[in-house]
């Protein structure tokens, strides 16, 4: 295959990250160039920074139906997940609650934290999702009990796009007076996210999945929820996340959330239409293609397809590399683990056989994509598959 440097690149990996919106960049600019104060300083420079930080906190909290005092800035989704799961589990130990329940389809930020808690003597229950990637409220109700500290189940899956019915699970969790955490990194800005409607005690969000800056996220912590901090230090974020706050990133995050929520309805409809076009074209052209995820209750921007190994034998890594050589940036699973090229833990948990799971592509759409990109991606996929199966 000959690499043509002039090829128009098509970015279809918005689940991994998104480009920065120029309006977000403008919102951050003053804090990189002039307004450098430390929000903890009592003098004028500090007070200006504090004011901007709290403005950002208010905007993000309002977007998810929370109070500003319930929102804590972190370095991103990974840290928020770690803080929610480990922080709540460790805080609940004193009350005799030493069990954590989660799903095998979670992001590694949750799964690996649960594993670490297991090493500390915590009883960890990992529920297997159904074939669509979902765990049911009934399964959670059976696994949770009076010794359960926390249940962590994501709102929208980053690999297959399946949306979880978080409210039903939260009700089952609260029947045992346990805490409910949900990872909403992929859902905020794509579908409505309201902490009260979801019934969660803890909720994770991250800026760089919605055209905001990398390196900032937030954790919603319902008022009165006990949480052990992961770090010790200067007492910032009311002791829950010490370290000098980054006002520029917070202002950018707030702007990104504001834009994402304002544009959500129209943009999600547009993304779903691109996803559906791609799905229809792929299914029509490639008989071995199978769709992963829930057929209806799924995020608008994600299309995850595998090539059934009983019909065609494809090496996932070669598939991915050839798509890249032809100018299409896609992934075979979550960006965090794609370096290792292991079959996706989510697809395996959903029951896909390892060979089929390896022959998987995840396409995820964003603002810059058009129907032209869909047609061109299918044309290039066709070229790759013709060569690989010749």
β-strand 99-103 against 71-74: which pairing, if any?
unpaired
Q: Which of 338, 302, 345 is nearest to 319 (CA)?
A: 338
Closest distance between ligand PLP and the C-beta of residue 187, in Å? 9
Count CA within 13 A, CB hemisphere, residue 358: 14
- Structure tokens belonging to residue 92: 């609940």
Give, as one character, the DSSP assignment of residue 226. -
Q: Cα dihedral sign for 46, 47, 49, 54?
A: positive
> What does each C-alpha distance from 40 to 45, 49, 78 come to in angstroms?
10, 8, 25
Please identify, using beta-carbon distances, which residue of 45 and 214 lies nearer to ligand PLP.
Answer: 214
Q: In what order do the strands lie in the sheet with 360-364?
A: 289-292, 302-307, 360-364
Interior angle at CA 14, CA 8 and CA 18, nearest 5: 90
Find tokens 């010790």 and name the residue: 232
Please identify, using beta-carbon distances, which residue of 260 and 326 lies nearer to ligand PLP.
Answer: 260
Please identify, using beta-carbon distances, which residue of 300 and 327 lies nearer to ligand PLP.
Answer: 300
Closest distance between ligand PLP and the C-beta of residue 273, in Å? 23
Q: With b meaning 16 or more CB within 10 Å and e meaning fewer, what string describes 216-230?
A: bbbbbbbeebebebb
Please identify, using beta-carbon distances, which residue of 190 and 352 lies nearer to ligand PLP.
Answer: 190
Please identify, using beta-carbon distances, which residue of 158 and 236 lies nearer to ligand PLP.
Answer: 158
Q: Which of 16, 18, 27, 96 is nearest to 253 (CA)?
A: 27
Closest distance between ligand PLP and the C-beta of residue 339, in Å? 13
Binding site residues, ligand PLP, CB under 6 A: 76-78, 81, 107, 109, 154, 158, 183, 185-186, 206, 208, 217, 334-336
Interior angle at CA 265, CA 182 and CA 270, nearest 5: 105
* In contact, 85 and 108? CB cutoff 8 Å: no
Closest distance between ligand PLP and the C-beta of residue 304, in Å? 13
DSSP, collapsed to helix, strand or coil, labels residue 330 as coil
- Phi then psi for 351, rounded to 5 degrees? 100, 5
By beta carbon distance, the residue nearest ligand PLP is 77
336 among known catalytic residues: yes
Report the distance separating Cα 92 and Cα 71, nearest Å: 20
Please identify, using beta-carbon distances, which residue of 334 and 360 lies nearer to ligand PLP.
Answer: 334
Closest distance between ligand PLP and the C-beta of residue 200, in Å? 15
Please identify, using beta-carbon distances, which residue of 20 and 141 lies nearer to ligand PLP.
Answer: 20
Closest distance between ligand PLP and the C-beta of residue 145, in Å? 27
* Helix residue ranges, H only, 286-338: 316-325, 335-338
Closest distance between ligand PLP and the C-beta of residue 256, in Å? 12
* In contact, 53 and 273? CB cutoff 8 Å: no
Active-site residue set: 336
């Amino acid at each position: 295959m000959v690499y043509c440097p002039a090829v128009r690149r098509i970015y279809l990996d918005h689940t991994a990250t998104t480009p920065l919106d120029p309006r977000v960049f403008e919102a951050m600019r003053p804090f990189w160039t002039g307004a450098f104060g430390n929000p903890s300083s009592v003098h004028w420079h500090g007070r200006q920074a504090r004011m901007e930080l709290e403005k950002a906190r208010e905007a993000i909290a309002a977007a998810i139906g929370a109070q500003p005092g319930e929102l804590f800035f972190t370095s991103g989704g990974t840290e928020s997940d770690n803080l929610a799961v480990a922080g709540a589990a460790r805080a609940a130990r004193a009350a005799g609650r030493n069990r954590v329940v989660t799903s095998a389809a979670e992001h590694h930020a949750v799964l690996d934290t649960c594993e670490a808690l297991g090493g500390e003597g915590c009883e960890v229950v990992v529920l297997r999702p159904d074939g669509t990637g979902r765990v049911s409220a009934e399964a959670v109700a059976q696994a949770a009990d009076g010794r359960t500290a926390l249940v962590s189940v994501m709102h929208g899956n980053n690999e297959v796009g399946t949306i979880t019915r978080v409210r039903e699970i939260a009700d089952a969790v609260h029947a045992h007076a346990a805490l409910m955490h949900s990872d909403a990194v992929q859902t905020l800005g794509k579908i409505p996210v309201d902490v009260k409607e979801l019934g969660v005690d803890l909720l994770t969000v991250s800026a760089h999945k919605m055209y905001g800056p990398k390196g900032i996220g937030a954790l919603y912590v319902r008022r009165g929820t006990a949480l052990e901090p992961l770090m010790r230090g200067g007492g910032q974020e009311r002791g829950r996340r010490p370290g000098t706050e980054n006002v520029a990133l917070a202002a950018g995050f707030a702007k990104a959330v504001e834009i994402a929520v304002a544009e959500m309805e129209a943009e999600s409809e547009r993304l779903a239409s691109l996803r559906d076009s791609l799905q229809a074209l792929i299914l029509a052209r490639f008989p071995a293609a199978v769709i992963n995820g829930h057929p209806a209750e799924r995020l608008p921007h994600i299309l995850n397809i595998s090539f059934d190994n009983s019909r065609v034998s494809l090496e996932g890594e070669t598939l991915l590399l050839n798509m890249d050589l032809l100018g299409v940036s896609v992934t075979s699973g979550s960006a965090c683990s794609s370096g290792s090229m292991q079959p996706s833990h989510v697809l395996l948990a959903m029951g896909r056989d390892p060979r089929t799971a390896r022959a998987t592509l995840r396409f995820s759409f964003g603002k810059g994509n058009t129907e032209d990109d869909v047609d061109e991606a299918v044309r290039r996929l066709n070229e790759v598959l013709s060569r690989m199966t010749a």
